[in-house]
Amino acid sequence: MSDIHLGTRGCRADLLVKFLRSHDAGTIYLVGDIFDGWALARRGWHWPQEHNNVVQTLLDKARRGTRIIFVPGNHDEVMRNYLGTHFGGIEVMQTADFVGMNGKRYLVTHGDQFDAVVMNAKWLAHFGDTAYDFLIWLNPKINAIRSLWGRQYWSLSKWAKRQVKGAVNFIGRYEDVLAEEARRGGYDGVICGHIHHANIREIQDIAYINTGDWVESCTAVAEHLTGAFELIDWEEKITADHKPARKAARQSADVDS
């Protein structure tokens, strides 16, 4: 999983804790932007108890024997000063090699080093991040109104990115660049994050796997014992699981009335 952005108001920490407590794994890869150092530099963190719960749940898993590998991203790049160290059983690495059950090798990287905007025009990246934060700030207010009509959660930032042709083109180019980097390194695939766009697809002979985020999408990627990868949309699953319960409650209310 990647792009949790602990320390920001947009982080869906409550859903993440439920996800972590519902799933166990031999190894967990934290693929960057787990916490948001940029938010600290701008205005100080938003750090409620739910964010502590995420950290504590991960540390509890590490104590129980789960191997946790942290590959820092651009928002938590300060951790790149601590490569090779362990924090509470969590290993910090620049990149990681993952060998799947199918015997194939995957490059694990956050992916920001392949984003030309982040690398060559950092001020522009920060400007975009500020605009993104505004959409995240506005989103709960819109969803509060939607909830009055029984509508499910809707991501304004995700919708906006899909409407902007340049953003759609950027996603495609980013995926191609990451796949080419994996090919040059002799890998069979790449596992990344950074652009908050979860996806699993084949790009020629390379498997491209993006874990998404826990701000807009609440997604993670899991490898099954069969070697198959699954993109888990946790919010969608929670919503689907609750629909039968709500329907049963309505039916019960109709009978009682």
Torsion, Cα of 9, 12, 14, 15 (10° steps): 170
pLDDT at 164 over 70: no
Distance (Å, whole) CA 56 – CA 43: 25
Tally of CB atoms within 10 A around 87? 13
d(CA 40, CA 103): 41
Closest CA to 168 of 193, 197, 139: 197
Is 197:187 a contact under the CB 8 Å cutoff?
A: no
| pLDDT tens, position by position, 50-108 | 999 999 999 999 999 999 999 999 999 999 999 999 999 999 999 999 999 999 999 99
Q: What is the mean pLDDT of the chain?
A: 82
Q: How confident is the model at residue 166 (pLDDT cuts 50, 70, 90)?
A: very low
Is 37 within 8 Å of 76 (Cβ atoms)? yes
- Residue-wise pLDDT for 187-230, tens only, equals 999 999 998 899 999 999 999 999 999 998 899 999 999 999 99
What is the rounded CA–CA span in Å between residue 216 and residue 163? 15
pLDDT at 249: 45
Q: Is the pLDDT of residue 13 over 50?
A: yes
Reported pTM: 0.78
pLDDT of residue 136: 57
The Cα–Cα gap between 165 and 14 comes to 32
